């Protein structure tokens, strides 16, 4: 991905912005260390910026990867988080779509809409944006956040919309849909295996059903999450604790394998499982964030006519998913299990990071 910092030149305009110079924010301090601290309130640094007062945010598995040291692009001192909804507090002089007081959905990806990648709808690779929130610039796990390229990176929330549900549209739903379902070429009648029944895998399960596959097999180590997957629409589940998941999948598919294998964890073992269970002519769609090398077994795959895709979410499907959620075709609130106030965000991380014990999926953090 391309990760750059916006130029710092702007003439801000505002309407009754918050006067406080500091705010509460969750800051990444070092590998394995984080703290809720007083942090400078963001300021407009480019004419296309907006400052948003965050009302609801959440924690992503990628935040846990950062805390493990898997993403060196995120330096200590960074405010984490890249998802949320809020109210516009200030806008830069070039912002034309939004004004102070507007309720908005924050995309996890910032897009200028003009560069060569944005013209291909590859917003994740925007030359002055991409996935920078909570990575190379301060993110949303705070009372306020600066949003670069606000006109392209925010979405208006209509009155009466369920803002908790819309938090799931910042990242998890478009990520699972774009990187898993679309890249994996899920289609009517196909057999799909999703490796990992965490929040992103379950979101892939929800969105895959838009394409009416014949079977969706969920694979995980946690029986509780597999039970949740059944409630969400999985046709079969496999507990992979005994390292025999590949054998079970092959038996279930008459030794054929699956048409689409979606990797939704981000560790070598789960990607290699996808390699074992994909059928000839099938697709491996990687969603997981990988911090370690993975072996690609071309000695077994070279003649299998398979495709392997990687992708960083572009959030190009947010408008479509917005309509799908509004029409009740998908209910992303099914993913929400816990709710916390911002001053309890460390408890939220504890719950989210120990999901096997707490049974947490997505947590909502209200400021």
Structure tokens at 202: 């379950």
Q: Which residues contact 95 (CB under 8 A, 6 or more apart)?
A: 47, 48, 49, 50, 150, 151
Q: Are residues 211 and 192 in the same domain?
A: yes
Find the mean pLDDT for residues 242-246. 96
Confidence of residue 19 (pLDDT cuts 50, 70, 90): low
Q: What is the pLDDT of residues 45-55, one digit of tens each?
A: 999 999 999 99
Instruction: Give the β-pairing of 50-58 and 144-147.
Output: antiparallel
Q: What is the pLDDT of residues 252-275, one digit of tens each?
A: 999 999 999 999 999 999 999 999
Q: Are residues 144 and 279 in the same domain?
A: no
For residue 307, report the phi and psi dihedrals to the nearest 5 degrees: -120, 140
Give the number of other CB atoms < 10 A from CB of residue 356: 11
Cut 0.85: pTM above it: yes
Give the number of other CB atoms < 10 A from CB of residue 128: 20
Considering the domain boundaries, does residue 3 fall inside one?
A: no
Confidence of residue 291 (pLDDT cuts 50, 70, 90): confident
Confidence of residue 143 (pLDDT cuts 50, 70, 90): very high
Which range of residues forms the domain containing residue 202? 175-309
At residue 36, the 3 state secondary structure works out as strand
Q: How many domains does the chain have?
A: 2
Confidence of residue 1 (pLDDT cuts 50, 70, 90): very low
Where does a domain end: 309, 325, 353? Answer: 309
- Is the pLDDT at 9 greater than 90? The verdict is no
Considering the domain boundaries, does residue 277 fall inside one?
A: yes
For residue 238, the domain's CATH number is 3.40.50.720
Q: What is the pLDDT of residues 183-235, one digit of tens each?
A: 999 999 999 999 999 999 999 999 999 999 999 999 999 999 999 999 999 99
Where does a domain end: 309, 326, 358? Answer: 309
Where does a domain end: 309, 328, 352? Answer: 309
Q: What is the pLDDT of residues 321-336, one digit of tens each?
A: 999 999 999 999 999 9
Per-state percent for the chain, helix, strand, coil, to nearest 5 = 30, 25, 45
Contact 308, 286 (CB under 8 A): yes
Q: Are residues 156 and 212 in the same domain?
A: no
Give the number of other CB atoms < 10 A from CB of residue 59: 26
What integer pLDDT is reported at residue 185 of this predicted model? 98
Nearest to 301 by CA among 281, 322, 329: 281
For residues 8 and 273, give the distance between their C-alpha atoms in angstroms, rounded to a whole number. 46
């Amino acid at each position: 991905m391309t990760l750059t910092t916006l130029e710092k030149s702007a003439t801000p305009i505002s309407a009754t912005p918050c006067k406080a110079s500091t705010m509460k924010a969750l800051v990444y301090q070092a590998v394995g260390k984080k703290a809720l601290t007083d942090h400078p309130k963001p300021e407009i640094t480019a004419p296309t910026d907006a400052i948003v007062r965050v009302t609801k945010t959440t924690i992503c598995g990628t935040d846990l990867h950062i805390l493990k040291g898997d993403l060196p692009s995120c330096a200590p001192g960074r405010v984490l988080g890249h998802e949320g909804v809020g109210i516009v507090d200030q806008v830069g002089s070039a912002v034309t779509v939004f004004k102070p007081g507007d309720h908005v959905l924050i995309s996890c990806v910032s897009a200028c809409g003009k560069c060569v990648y944005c013209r291909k709808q590859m917003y994740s690779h925007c030359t002055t944006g991409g996935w920078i929130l909570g990575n190379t610039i301060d993110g949303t796990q705070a009372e306020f956040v600066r949003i670069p390229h606000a006109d392209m990176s925010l979405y208006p929330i209509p009155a009466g919309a369920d803002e908790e549900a819309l938090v799931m549209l910042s990242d998890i739903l478009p990520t699972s849909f774009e990187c898993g379902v679309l890249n994996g070429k899920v289609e009517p009648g196909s057999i799909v295996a999703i490796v990992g029944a965490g929040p992103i895998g379950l979101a892939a399960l929800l969105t895959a059903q838009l394409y009416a596959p014949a079977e969706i097999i969920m694979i995980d180590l946690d029986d509780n999450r597999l039970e949740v997957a059944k409630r969400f629409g999985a046709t079969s589940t496999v507990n992979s604790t005994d390292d025999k998941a590949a054998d079970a999948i092959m038996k279930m598919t008459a030794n054929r394998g699956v048409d689409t294998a979606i990797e939704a964890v981000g560790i070598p073992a789960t990607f290699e499982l996808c390699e074992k269970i994909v059928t000839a002519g099938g697709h491996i769609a990687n969603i997981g964030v990988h911090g370690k090398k993975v072996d690609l077994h071309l000695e077994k795959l070279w003649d299998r006519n398979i495709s392997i895709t990687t992708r960083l979410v572009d959030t190009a499907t947010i408008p479509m998913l917005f309509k799908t959620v509004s029409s009740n075709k998908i209910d992303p609130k099914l993913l929400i299990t816990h709710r916390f106030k911002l001053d309890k965000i460390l408890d939220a991380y504890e719950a989210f990071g120990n999901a096997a014990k707490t049974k947490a999926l997505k947590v909502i953090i209200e400021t």
